[in-house]
A = this chain, B = another copy of it.
């Protein structure tokens, strides 16, 4: 785990060193953001306030919300927090507020907000992944989703193509659970949205409306040589084909509506590897642009 807090305050570092790994992970906040809003939001977490997920976060100072289930267990058993301990609550939709534990009983704990809940806007370019992973086996789709969530993708959409024309319903349910787990683990302030599968024909109009649409393609020039010097776009698309790749017709159709083919280096990449590689580079590119 990359733990910003380990560098932030020596006393907190000392606490970290004494803490068991699991506690340490829970103590660690999200890395500082380039932008002031998020920096403000994240720095509180970096200061070491343990952060918990509260889907229905109240809006005003003084309001009380009940924490139950896993989050309650982490709060009281793992971190051994109790009455009057300060915590941070986030709702996964950008909502963030500091509070304190007012009451603890067997079933849960009541947290009272010490401030009005703030709303942190999404930072930088929002990347939307369209990948044909319906045919992936051996947990490869699982970690494609987990890593897209960790890396900060805004959404992931299973893409249905001629060579990957279906994805099992139960798989989508399973992936949805993985997303929620990963969001909590990496403490994203905004949940990643796992969209319903789309036919490539329905992707085309989306691509034509985007100025930042990249198509993973083995014959194309390297991604970093294709990236624009600057962009005012708020959203970008990543498009990755299935095992056996897109058909020539599908590639031509995507190019014709403006998707830019980009190469991902010398090796032959699996679908999930190409997706993570492309997303990593684009996230780092837009993050650098924000500086």
Interface flag for A25 (CB, 8 Å): yes
Docked Cα-Cα span, A271 to B185, in Å, equals: 13
Which among A13, A151, A284 has the highest number of chain B CB atoms within 10 Å?
A: A284
CB-CB contacts below 8 Å: A165-222 with B: 185-188, 216-219, 221-222
Docked Cα-Cα span, A180 to B230, in Å, equals: 41
Stretch at the interface among A2-10, A55-63, A67-75, A109-117: A2-10
Say whether, besides A268-B31, A273-B147, A248 and B13 are in contact (CB < 8 Å): yes
Say whether, besides A25-B244, A244-B16, A280-B281, A2 and B264 are in contact (CB < 8 Å): yes
Q: How many residues of A contact B (CB 8 A)?
A: 77
Docked Cα-Cα span, A85 to B168, in Å, equals: 39
Q: Binary interface profile of A, 20-37, with partner B (CB < 8 Å = 1, else 0)?
A: 010011001111111000
| Chain B hits for A241, CB < 8 A | 2
Docked Cα-Cα span, A215 to B16, in Å, equals: 20
Interface residues of A (CB under 8 A from B): 1-4, 6-8, 10, 13, 16-17, 21, 24-25, 28-34, 38, 42, 123-124, 135, 139, 143, 147, 150-152, 163, 185-188, 216-219, 221-225, 241, 243-248, 251, 263-271, 273-274, 276-278, 280-281, 283-285, 287-288, 290-291
7 A-B pairs with the lowest CB-CB distances in the bound complex, closest first? A4-B218, A31-B218, A224-B288, A277-B280, A3-B245, A222-B288, A225-B288
Listed by A's residue number, 16 A-B pairs whose Cβ atoms lie within 8 Å are: A2-B218, A7-B219, A10-B248, A21-B163, A28-B244, A29-B268, A31-B265, A31-B267, A34-B222, A185-B270, A221-B291, A222-B287, A224-B284, A224-B287, A225-B288, A265-B284
